[in-house]
Every structure is written in C-alpha cells, then in structure tokens.
Chains A and B, each alone.
Chain A
C-alpha cells in the first residue's frame, strides 16, 4: 500500500488555495488523476518524487517512510525509488538510446528486454536528435522504468504526440505496467487516455478530491441518461419556417441545431447549453469513409 497525505498552499489564478488530500494506492495499480489546470495535479507528483516539500503530511510506500512532517523525515529525490516521465523527453543528447537506458542500470539483459517491450531494438544505437518525438518519448518511458521504481509518475506524458503515436505509447505503457507491476500515477486531461489505461480515476478540483472511482464514472457523469452530450455556447440564432436554427460552438467545432419556438423562449445567443442525444441515435462511421 502507498499512502499519501499532504497539505500545501498553492497560488492559483484567483488567489491562494490549499492542496489538501489523503489517498491510498494499491501496489501494482494504475491510477489516473484528472482535473482542470491549476487544480494541483502536478504538485502531487512533485511531492511524491521529493521535488517539493508539503507544508505537512506523510508519504509511506510499503514499509518505507519517505516523508513525515511529524517525525522530520524527508528522503531526497534520489533516495526515493521513483520513475518520472513528463511531456518533454529529457534524454541525454550525447548518449545513444541504449546508453540512455544503461546510464540508470548495469543490467544489460534488462535493458534489452525494455528495448524490446517498447520496440526500439532497431534504434538502440541512434542518438536522440535523430529520433521522432514519439520515439524519443518511448525511450524516455523505458528509462523511467529501467530501475523498476516503486512508483512511476507520469505527467501528461503523451500530450505532445499525435493520436496514433499516443495510442501506440498507451499500449506500450500498459505492457510495461503489466510486465513489471509498477504502481503508476498518470496525470492527464485526456479523458480517452484515462478511461483506456486506468483502473481508478481521481478527479481533483481546487486542491480537493471531488471524485474517486472506476473510470465508468467519466461516462456516467451526465445530467441525463444521454451518453452523447456536450456543453456548448450559442453563437447565432435565426428564424426559419416555424422553427429556429441555432449555431453552437462545441470545442473547436461549430454545429447547427434546430430549436422549436418553445426552446427559443429559453435559449439565447451567448448562453451555455447542454446538447444531448441518446446513445442509440448518433450515426457513427470512420472519419473519411463514405456512409
């Protein structure tokens, strides 16, 4: 069991706030932390890795105490067996892929196995600058787990990659996680990624845990039984025949919807609206393929 309790004052855009939480992780589990920017997600990883000291709290990993404000214990980052992976690759540029991994271990067989798991054997003697972003991140992932850390901390590790490469790295991450049974915490704003990878999801808002459960909560968390629902902003409404046509901005897309005269009484330009449809109704087809 890994137990974290911490309190830390943070400065948010609208003033100070407290990151205040207690959480227990089962060893070998893969947990996702989601939440809006500035909620304190990265601060949790920094506290676990020892890069930041909380105001108070306790971190226990198995039977080792890494931090306790009461007992004055605070292991240095090098003493904590933590693997870290961030969005930037942080590889040693003057070392080959293999040397980047061997820097952390002398066990060549283990390095060979890792290179195979992330399918980088063919690139083992290349230098980082000759690799694509996805390849660099695979090296960084292999390096993060090379010492079999007690805790693997991933902070938006795949957010700089295109969807296909992201999917591939997700597979590799799962493979490494299962092979080495690494207790892993993944911070990500990508709900698809969290849903796919994690067995438990914690949602953080303003320094507090507001939800903690299995990933299905991400699917079920709607005001209605709608499975297909978005929040958008109405940008235009114009009358047409006996109805009204509304343009609504959802994410990066504009969509046009029909409002009845009755809907129009309650909906105006500038308003946030919930657009929903039943799971049975939307047409689904691969992008770029004709219907």
Chain B
C-alpha cells in the first residue's frame, strides 16, 4: 500500500460525492470520495492511500490522459518476477511503488535512475485520518 501524508486543502461537495484536493509536500493531489466523516475537514492532516497496482508508469513524453494525478518520479529499484514486477519510485511526494506486469516492464525497458511519470486516477486514492 502506498501512503502519503498531507494536508486536506479543499472539499467540493455535490450530491453526496466529494472532489478533494490534498497537498503533499507542496504538490496537489486530487481524489474523489463519497460521504466522509467530520474528521476530514479542510486543513486537517490526512493520509492518502493507493494500491501499488493502481499506479500506471509512463515513460517518455506525456500523451494527455484522464489520470488526475501525475507525479514525476525516478526509478529507484526493480524486482522482476515472471508475471509481476515491482518498481520502486521516488517522487517529490515521497517514495511509492508500482506493481506492473513483467510484460509491460519488458516493453518499457525500465532501468534504475531513469525518469518516469506515475499516474493515479482520483478514483483510486483513499483518504484516511492522518493520526493513523
């Protein structure tokens, strides 16, 4: 599980659905949730959680995508398996991990030290209280 700590900056409600902006080390990340408790108010400390499998790794110049969050990263480590590969990344928000298929890994020719972009949609990021 990838986890970033940050400060909740903005909540836009619409009919039980929230569009939320969280600032993590100066970078704004966006997520969408249903109703959330009162503990999640603007300026509260929160944690953002997302699965390794929910990170798309993009190499080379950006095509436009619908991913709400684009994080420039450097490949920090690689564990290649026969079906799955785990890519450790460093970003301005902190370290994160991407789980991709080894098929994609071989196609992308990823190497340690290389710049990539990690893409995560607003649907895949969960919100947790910062004190947990």
Contact = CB atoms under 8 A, between A and B. Distances in A.
B40 interface: yes
Contacts of B70: none
B1 interface: yes
Contacts of B35: 216, 219-220
A278 B84 contact: no
Contacts of A241: 81-84
A225 B18 CA distance: 11
A227 interface: yes
B86 A242 contact: yes
Contact of B126 (A219, A243, A262, A276): A276
A279 B35 CA distance: 10
Interface in A61-85: none
A226 B124 CA distance: 11
Given A224-B127, A225-B126, A243 B36 contact: no
A278 to B, nearest CB: 6
B127 A281 contact: no
A225 B82 contact: no
B37 interface: yes
B24 interface: no
B81 A242 contact: yes
Contacts of A279: 33-34
Contacts of B86: 242-243, 260-261
Interface string B103-132: 000000000000000000001101111001
Given A263-B1, A278-B124, A225 B40 contact: yes
A278 B126 contact: yes
B126 A260 contact: no
A223 interface: yes
A225 B79 contact: no
A225 B99 contact: no
Contacts of A224: 49, 126-129
A223 B130 CA distance: 11
Contact of A225 (B80, B127, B132): B127
A36 B125 CA distance: 33
Interface in A190-226: 216, 219-220, 223-226
Contact of B84 (A227, A242, A262, A281): A242
A224 B132 CA distance: 9
Given A242-B84, A278-B33, A280-B32, A261 B79 contact: yes
B45 interface: no
Residue in A219, A224, A227 whose Cβ sees the most chain B Cβ within 10 Å: A224
B129 A280 contact: no
B21 interface: no
Interface in B11-35: 32-35
B85 interface: yes
A243 to B, nearest CB: 6
Interface string A216-257: 100110011111000000000000011100000000000000
A263 B52 CA distance: 11
B97 interface: yes
A241 B79 CA distance: 10
14 contacts: A220-B36, A223-B128, A223-B132, A225-B36, A225-B126, A242-B79, A242-B80, A243-B86, A260-B1, A260-B99, A278-B123, A279-B33, A279-B34, A280-B123
Given A260-B86, A276-B126, A281-B124, 18 more contacts: A223-B128, A223-B132, A224-B129, A225-B33, A225-B36, A225-B127, A226-B126, A242-B80, A242-B84, A243-B84, A243-B86, A260-B52, A260-B97, A260-B99, A261-B86, A263-B1, A279-B34, A281-B123
Interface of A: 216, 219-220, 223-227, 241-243, 258, 260-263, 276, 278-281
> When A and B form their complex, which 6 residue pairs have the shortest distance between CB atoms, in order from nearest?
A242-B81, A241-B81, A225-B127, A224-B128, A225-B33, A280-B123
